Structure 1
């Protein structure tokens, strides 16, 4: 059972969540539905907690749309495979732009769902290909459709070396080598140093793009830690994986989506 693929279903209409789960039980019996969400915010929380392999997202949900959820997942990195399920086909192009693996119109027939399941199984069976989001494949598909032109990504800039941060009434210029970890807090991101703490306005998603991924590891949607400050890991009484830091008492929670970083530790 531990090797069974896991999914989260997000739809604001309970009977449609039930219908899709029933259809999936027939089309993909080994799939386990790990959670069901009634809105986008609940979907993000479930995805963070459960780290599913697949997410079925309704596009029109209250508070945060399925497209908003997809954008947040892509920004955070390591998104699950996403399938949009909606009654409105005008969202198809936006779905592809947000790295959707497929797009289903409600109510999805068993025959159409079977094709989606086949795509998902193929993607899950190819972890090396799945390690990168399917943006390039979607860009090619959109170009063939003649629907929209999505520019190729620009060359990655050099990793961030310096940070301008606020500490009390002062503004400091901090070398990234001094940072122990970053943690998002409401409108700000805390920059935790060996001695003291500063604040910046740059969100975690933007920092992740600018930092050297070999030196800084994202371990949670809201935390990036400097690898050289990681002493080890342990599980707490709730079964959560925790990062222990060198020369610091606090421990940092690792979400399930990033737990594989520490499988060899």
Structure 2
């Protein structure tokens, strides 16, 4: 198996560690020479270590992954790491860059590893220039433009929280002694409990410290709605709605026995149901 070096840049420590472990299993001869918390660190560590491959999270605070890629250019093989599938489908469809979607899927990462190994073989045989990607600069600029547009676009339904394409993709929660990454699309509902928020998903439930008022601004309004001052529900999890007295209603879920209240302020959301 071909030997190589790599740098991983992601602002989430848990995800840096997860990607590093997955790469070690799939590519034992790959040496992770450094990890970075943001794009600025990624560029600085790249200049020090000059790795063969750089894994860059698209969204990082300060200098993001796209800006870091501009500075690194074709001096390495770039792999973008993103939680947003639209980048993978639209920005990389020409194959000039590679990508990994978070949370990391082992089979998808295995495909990426095989492509990187082949590019390195070709490069070392003199069949491919450093960086290996024709039109790399144009692809990075395309990605930068998409990122800028989405940063400036308000969320659907008039919400002023997360811009389109930047909605929360998973929630970290402690379950016993384990730190879980809960995919947001598996969450059925969330309910505030004084200082905590109860998160209920397909496989269980957990308490997190983030207030529900902060969470609702980070959720895709096409999928999640607030139905009570203390309750947010995934629309796909609703079985049916029963109307109650005084302009209220109850939500019944497909996979849970809990009945969630709908207050008068939010009843209009279900008038067509």
TM range (shorter): 0.3 to 0.5
Larger radius of gyration: 2
Q: TM-score of the superposition, structure 2-length normalised?
A: 0.45
Q: TM-score of the superposition, structure 1-length normalised?
A: 0.46
